[in-house]
Structure 1
């Protein structure tokens, strides 16, 4: 066959390929289906456990077995995602209704991970079998080939409850994400029943049944008035608070006990909360907390904050709400796959799709049951009829040469190949007209079925079959009757599995607190050559001035309300509040500058450190200006006020590719600048010759460099200052160098 080259627009091909990939991730990986509320990996895991027979009333099986079987048969995307899905479905603190019964270490609410899958075991929960997998054998949903067409897997599980609302969902797809909070089982069932009784029910009326989210961690929803908009549109933000109780102690003291946390605090955020509280105490934002301890256990959350006597509890609680994750936001985006496409829905839409699915499932279920009952009825009627002419049938069987002849006689009355004892029997046999199914049943019937009691049992069974047929036909022909059947099943499930609501819902006031006003005082900032920094009071500095200045690289006076500006060789400015730097004694070790700022000592080095107040200082003739000099000889002046910024890290100066900042100095008067290069060129010129630029500018050329030369050092000389440096074992007096022009080559030494 001759090869053909297909020409196509590259952008169109890329667009199509990306859309195909995005839709694959959206539909087949990240988003749940609105019908059963499960992602593909969850559905496949539960179905595999069902197929393996790992039921709630049977022994646990190793998770490694479940994961391996699921990956090999249905989900070829790696064992980590399957095991993570299995673990989450077993965690009571993440799921309002756990679907898997885990045995072993399945992690903790404080962020501890589950043990490896080779150690843990699992089995299905009873509710999973009854509400998600119960009717799989009744052909109520479609099955499709798996990834290699060797197995069949369900397109969706026949879930009897709206799992999308009950357990919620979280998932990040391509260009979209879903975030659905869990809800109370009983309330959701009541909402579904209300919708089935009145499909025109409004969202507001539905919310009389489904009050709002019900998180397994409890807590308090504090923006009740916003919930209507969230449930109407499927989008919005839920504000959550932890539950705080006050306990009285001996001596008039009190302690705050956090017994419930916001759902968003699950995991490492509990540790972060403890650190945030510790930081509030360390930075003197509050003096009310004496001690903090995490006394949480299997019984529940218990974080204790011991308070000083006379503490302002209301103000402290408000501070915790504002400054920590004790109050947090849960972003809601009710996004799920509907008819193969992602769709954002309100609560009523989710319930509508679920109810529609229930009618479809139950229609298929009762059609299949009706078909089976009709087949059973046909057989039963044949057997009852056969009992009335059993002597004739026995005669037919004894006179037949083979089963085929006997069957033909029973169905069509064919008697030619059969020997009868009398013509009367032959005549009666020719009048038989059983169906093929009835004839087969008669031929397979055992003789003990002719006992009187067995015949009575058959008659009774036939009556039951007729009642079932009548019931199924009534259900299929009357939508209201089917609705009653669905509601009856929902009531049964609610009675067995509904639990009390854990999350309170209210409208709370905005948390407002008064910060302790910081008493302004003068302190001395110091940082040693290893990067450890601290502040001490002025008196301590004056007592140990000589030792402090000899042991530290940077030492200067500032106020505790000031900021420290750190300029680095990469052109960055990192700001840190003085109050965030440890305040203590002269011999205290301090903290690495990396730990209190965004400075990273492994990637950049410090060119200069100043207090913000010194950069904002106004001199007699002009405001403070900062001179910047780089390795390639670029130079500029920037007004100090440009560095009064709110961000912790900003660009202090723009550098050309391959360039590096060498010098950051504050100018006070008529200084001169001296450039010294690697090849021994010295250039001295007036600082006033340097133009003023913005911090985002590159600057101008300070010295003309020869090929492969670069600036080695930059010196700032104050008026009448004497400065001597060594170059090639010769002393060079910088203050005696002739003052030249900027952007010249300088003199050789």
Structure 2
């Protein structure tokens, strides 16, 4: 047994090295696509596994679970969900410029519905994948490397013949970097590649005569055309995309807006979010022109219908949708990919340059392999033709040989010692034979029917064809123009077979100018019932229903409709609510839970005080807690922009029980749960900051706690009900703060 050796090292250095190794593994082997085939490792391995399993476009579909399991077991040991997710995305035409997998079953929808479980769905390779991504793998066209456990071989890169990185785009988050490449139109990208191959000094601007911009599978409109040149030169930037809105006339002079195309970024949950945002615009009175909204989208395409009131300002409303919802969105471009083993952000020309270099490498390896095969075939054909000319001698050699080795030695080296010949002339002729090993084997394996005249003629024609192929392959390998012609030929074939019309419009759209109608400032009354449902009504409505409103509602606050309400809770927080976010209308309307329009959580906290923000400007607030702590705080400390702040600091197991507006000429009465009352002047309450705990208001006995706080002016009679009797607070003896108080009889 060997002695173990302890290696001492700096812990931070070890962690740094380990994290860098992990980060590089994620960057190179997981998250980023290769610039050559435009595929991430999981996509490449999945497609190769389908190719190996023989799941071709013209063969029956196979269960996705079989594909995922096989891929995970052989090539990608990182969990089945990552493989299935990649397989699903490659089958979703609304996410990819060109779907690489032909899916059968529920592969999700553009509205965000997930795919069915892999045990239910089936898939096979798409035709373009087989023809342009996996063809010629048997021709030593790419290098193979061992898989994770060195039991299989997998290609380092697929021999993709089209610029897949641009056609399908890519997105991925690595460590410290991310890639986001939009999809493009196949025909345009092929035209740009061909233009580059004819003129290598072509500029990005000239390439953009062919590639107009991104071509999203969801269509839409790119509205910042002038920014695209800089984006494609640098490889990074922001593309503004809008949905397509059409106006349809209805009966009675009404109109409706129909959204037929959405921004690419809205795929999935974005459609539901858009519908909610439009509803919110109506609820918050941002617009009164929308009557109804419905999502009529189907497999045939997107159709979101917004019905409008008669006389609605269509242009202003459309601009409002662009401004206030994700109907206009930004697609962040970062064209990052792995090039020569390292991540690099590349412009359009650089990506095309890498693709063309890769195509020449593929073509060189392919035609070298084909040339070697044709030369081998030529050698055998020449041997067979020569053999046909001396067939009688060869038959004599075979009949006179004792073994195959003797016959082969005679055919290749002219050794005749162990062979019986009919005549000395035959022996002399046999001694002159010098067939190659390959030719000798072909002659020995040749069948007799090959001696038929037509077969010999066919052999001669085949030899002529072989010579032509050799000449062609040598020409391709020795001349740039010939190889470029072959590559362009292939690209033209793919363009003719798979090109489709551009779906995304690229233009310089006008900035969406939306004139928001100014809300007329007015005084309203905020009403909230004991269940937390709130609304606002105008003052006249409140006055007419004052008796019912006071009886049914727990909180009633006069406020300005353009202002904010401040909500103090027992947890020591203050939440702000925009009055305009609350429903405004009839007295009998139900209202809306304040949880929906603020950070207030009715399951975790309780309201102890509400007021209009303007009320706080010059006021002072008295804070009191269950443990008897009190303080005065200037109201302007709570005039903040944040929706939620800490209104006071609380001790452990303490909670806020009261917040009230206080003046220095008032008197304070503290009442405990056990019936102790303490009266003192408001001037004795220390003024503190909102972040302070405060000072002790009353000395509490064991298990007692502060329950109520009363404020009144000296000289005014203030009565409360306590137990079975009435108690007049201004008759209580004036004491000092932090006393024990006097026990009242109930």
Q: Which TM-score tier does this pair reach, normalised by the shorter chain?
A: over 0.9
Aligned to 2:550: 549
How far apart are the structure 1 equivalents of 2:22 and 2:666? 63
**Cα separation, partners in 2 of 1:338 and 1:726, compared to 1, 3 Å:** farther
How far apart are the structure 2 equivalents of 1:225 and 1:688? 68
Measured against aligned partners, the alpha-carbon deviations of 1:385-443 in whole angstroms (never above 9, x if no partner) come to: 11111111111111111111111111111111111111111111111111111111111
**Cα separation, partners in 2 of 1:43 and 1:736, compared to 1, 3 Å:** farther
Aligned to 2:218: 217
Matched ranges for 1:337-736 at <5 A: 337-616=338-617, 623-631=618-626, 633-655=628-650, 659-668=654-663, 670-674=665-669, 684-695=679-690, 697-703=691-697, 711-713=705-707, 715-720=709-714, 722=718, 724=720, 735=730
Whether the 8 Å CA contact 1:141–1:156 is kept in 2: the answer is yes
Instruction: Report the alpha carbon displacement of residue 131 of structure 1 after superposing the two structures with TM.
Output: 0.8
How far apart are the structure 2 equivalents of 1:671 and 1:133? 88
Instruction: Report the alpha carbon displacement of residue 522 of structure 1 after superposing the two structures with TM.
Output: 2.7
Aligned to 1:40: 41
Matched ranges for 1:137-216 at <5 A: 137-216=138-217
Aligned to 1:53: 54
Whether the 8 Å CA contact 2:166–2:183 is kept in 1: the answer is yes
Whether the 8 Å CA contact 1:633–1:710 is kept in 2: the answer is no
Measured against aligned partners, the alpha-carbon deviations of 1:644-693 in whole angstroms (never above 9, x if no partner) come to: 33333333334466654333222245334455567887655544444545
SS at match of 1:259: strand
How far apart are the structure 1 equivalents of 2:410 and 2:728? 131
Aligned to 1:271: 272
Measured against aligned partners, the alpha-carbon deviations of 1:436-495 in whole angstroms (never above 9, x if no partner) come to: 111111111111111111111111111111111112122222222212211111111111
Measured against aligned partners, the alpha-carbon deviations of 1:300-342 in whole angstroms (never above 9, x if no partner) come to: 1111122222211111111111111111111111111222222
Aligned to 1:244: 245
How far apart are the structure 1 equivalents of 2:167 and 2:36? 12
Bigger shift: residues 22-31 or 391-400 = 22-31
How far apart are the structure 1 equivalents of 2:239 and 2:455? 65
How far apart are the structure 1 equivalents of 2:138 and 2:297? 45
How far apart are the structure 1 equivalents of 2:28 and 2:728? 75
Query: Mind listing any 5+ residue stretches in structure 1 that lack a counterpart?
Result: 617-622
Whether the 8 Å CA contact 2:664–2:683 is kept in 1: the answer is no
Aligned to 1:14: 15
How far apart are the structure 2 equivalents of 1:684 and 1:135? 96
Aligned to 1:82: 83
SS at match of 1:553: strand
How far apart are the structure 1 equivalents of 2:739 and 2:406? 121
Instruction: Report the alpha carbon displacement of residue 559 of structure 1 after superposing the two structures with TM.
Output: 2.5
Residues paired across the two proteins, number: 740
TM-score, normalization by structure 2: 0.94
Whether the 8 Å CA contact 1:248–1:255 is kept in 2: the answer is yes
Instruction: Report the alpha carbon displacement of residue 90 of structure 1 after superposing the two structures with TM.
Output: 1.0
SS at match of 1:134: coil
How far apart are the structure 2 equivalents of 1:321 and 1:184? 26
Whether the 8 Å CA contact 1:656–1:698 is kept in 2: the answer is no
Calculate the aligned-residue CA RMSD, in Å: 2.4
Bigger shift: residues 468-477 or 234-243 = 468-477
How far apart are the structure 2 equivalents of 1:489 and 1:708? 91
Measured against aligned partners, the alpha-carbon deviations of 1:536-572 in whole angstroms (never above 9, x if no partner) come to: 2323322332232222221122232221212223333
Instruction: Report the alpha carbon displacement of residue 602 of structure 1 after superposing the two structures with TM.
Output: 2.3
**Cα separation, partners in 2 of 1:397 and 1:168, compared to 1, 3 Å:** same
SS at match of 2:713: coil
How far apart are the structure 1 equivalents of 2:385 and 2:719? 124
Whether the 8 Å CA contact 1:725–1:734 is kept in 2: the answer is no
Instruction: Report the alpha carbon displacement of residue 723 of structure 1 after superposing the two structures with TM.
Output: 5.7
How far apart are the structure 2 equivalents of 1:707 and 1:380? 114
TM-score, normalization by structure 1: 0.94
**Cα separation, partners in 2 of 1:676 and 1:459, compared to 1, 3 Å:** farther
How far apart are the structure 1 equivalents of 2:214 and 2:33? 18
